[in-house]
Amino acid sequence: MHRLATSWTWRWVAIAAWLLACAACRPSEADHQAASVVSGHVHGSNEMADAAELAVQSVVNISTTRIQRRVPTQEERLFRRFWGLRGGDHDETQSHSLGSGVIVDDKGIVVTSNHVIDGAQFIHVRLADGRDLTAELVGGDARSDLAVLRLQGDLKGLHALKFADSDKLRLGEVVLAIGSPYGLGQSVSHGIVSAKGRANVHIADYEDFVQTDAAINPGNSGGALVNLRGELVGIATAIASASGGSVGIGFAIPANMVRPLMQNLLEKGRVVRGWLGVGVQDLSAELREAFAVGDRAGVLITDVQRASPADRAGLRRGDVLLRLGPSATGSPLLMRNAIALAAVGSTLLVEVLRDGQVVQLQAVVAEAPEPSRAPLLATPASLPAAGLLVEPISPALRRERDLPANLNGLVITEVEADSAAARAGLQRGDLILEVDRKPVTTPTDLAQTMQAGKLAMLLVWRDGNASFVPLRP
């Protein structure tokens, strides 16, 4: 009996060991998850490689030659004559630069950055297959840093990159940057979309950049930013770097901005921008309170030019612009871009907040005039008021600064250090047009309107633009 019991005991021990071994061999849930991650990684890598191999065929290397002429000085001519050196009436020097471009039409249309080709007499393009071609400039736009080229020569077998809808880009989406960094030919780096709608980078006049951490280096300018479907989502234009190399902050002009600019350059040789004739500014906490905006998204209209589309539509200074066309307006720079990209002659639905009521108007977009470059000049001081010295706008000042005939107010001639005016950001040369929505044309008007300790809303004109400035003297 004891022997039988012992025999069965060992059998049960063996069965238990076998069951434990089977359990150890069975994949756990964690194993399944790990396998899934590895499988997804491999799939993602293949997707990235497919997109890179597709898009790299459309990215070109651009090299330019600039010839600069200079008239020698009298001293240089005498020196050459004395030593018997040769020299003409002009000295010529050549400079070269490298960049990238993207083929967007199989008929030889290439999009690049304007700064890559600006001032170039000769433009050379090397395709991904090694062919060397020349290119002619169709048109360039310095204000958006975009240019269009047309390739010359054998155009067989060109691969055009398809435009994507850049509005559908998502934060964190994987993108590839393809270009010729340091002239090394088609190179690919990858990263993610770090931000969208960057409009305060101060690289160009019109900005709506896609920010990415994909490595962008010198030579990448004008290259492609593509999604994992191999579609063009942007044109690389600049990096933020103290050293000149990539630090993970690069900027690209979004495809939805590139496309209309390109069409303008192809059709007219220049960019025709829309214009309404309004000046706007951000809504600070003080301005939101003063204009009873609440938590609405919008921008404050600070100026409406006489006889402009905005004037004809009934827009007024002090309106809060809530909606422009189909989109809400929460940024002056992005609103400016939206107007600029609107077709001349098209009608935009404009929604504003006026005296607490929402008003809907319609504005017909006109062509934007050339920007004014009027200089800022100061005048002698005359009367102190709330940390300021001001005087009326004189006829001489009006002529000097080419001020509109209907622009009336006071010019700031001095701002006292550490005063409330200085802390509010007022500067010498600014024009004060209104205080608390009332015109001021004499220093007495200003002195009577400003009260110590009371918040005043000044309408200030600077560099051709008006803005509201809260000031508590």
Residue 258 has what pLDDT? 95
Check residues 184 and 356 and name the one with the higher pLDDT. Answer: 356
Candidates 1.10.3720.10, 2.30.42.10, 3.30.1370.100, 3.90.280.10; correct CATH number of 383-471?
Answer: 2.30.42.10
In whole angstroms, what is the distance from residue 311 CA to residue 276 CA?
8
Check residues 80 and 168 and name the one with the higher pLDDT. Answer: 168
Candidates 3.30.1180.10, 3.90.1150.10, 2.40.10.10, 3.40.50.1860; correct CATH number of 166-268?
Answer: 2.40.10.10
Residue 302 has what pLDDT? 85
Taking CA 48 as the corner, what is the angle to CA 45 and CA 51, rounded to the nearest 5 degrees?
150
Instruction: Answer whether 334's CB lies under 8 Å from 308's CB.
Output: no
Check residues 4 and 302 and name the one with the higher pLDDT. Answer: 302
In whole angstroms, what is the distance from residue 37 CA to residue 26 CA?
19
Residues classed as catalytic: 115, 145, 221
Residue 158 pLDDT grade (very low, low, confident, very high; cuts 50, 70, 90): very high
Residue 14 has what pLDDT? 55
Beta-carbon contacts of residue 457 (< 8 Å; ≥ 6 apart): 287, 290, 435, 436, 437, 468, 469, 470, 471
- Burial 196-210, CB ≥16 within 10 A → b, else e: ebbbebebbebbbbb
Name the DSSP letter for residue 163. Answer: B
Residue 455 pLDDT grade (very low, low, confident, very high; cuts 50, 70, 90): confident
pLDDT digits (tens, 9 = 90+) for 224-255: 999 999 999 999 987 665 555 566 788 999 99
pLDDT digits (tens, 9 = 90+) for 70-106: 556 666 666 666 566 655 555 555 556 678 999 999 9
Report CA-CA distances (Å) from 181 to 31, 148, 173, 234, 293.
42, 20, 23, 17, 48
What integer is the mean pLDDT of 364-389? Answer: 57
Token look-up 């005359």 returns: 382
Q: Per residue, what are the HEC states of 221-278? A: CCCEEECCCCCEEEEEEEECCCCCCCCCCEEEEEHHHHHHHHHHHHHHCCCCCEECCE
Residue 383 has what pLDDT? 33
Instruction: Answer whether 292's CB lies under 8 Å from 308's CB.
Output: no
Common-topology check for domains 274-367 and 383-471: yes
pLDDT of 35 > 80? The answer is no
pLDDT of 332 > 50? The answer is yes
Q: Note the CATH number of domain 56-152.
A: 2.40.10.10
pLDDT digits (tens, 9 = 90+) for 406-417: 788 888 887 877
Name the DSSP letter for residue 369. Answer: P
- Tell me which H or E stretch contains 151: strand 146-152
What integer is the mean pLDDT of 333-343? Answer: 85
Instruction: Answer whether 223's CB lies under 8 Å from 177's CB.
Output: yes
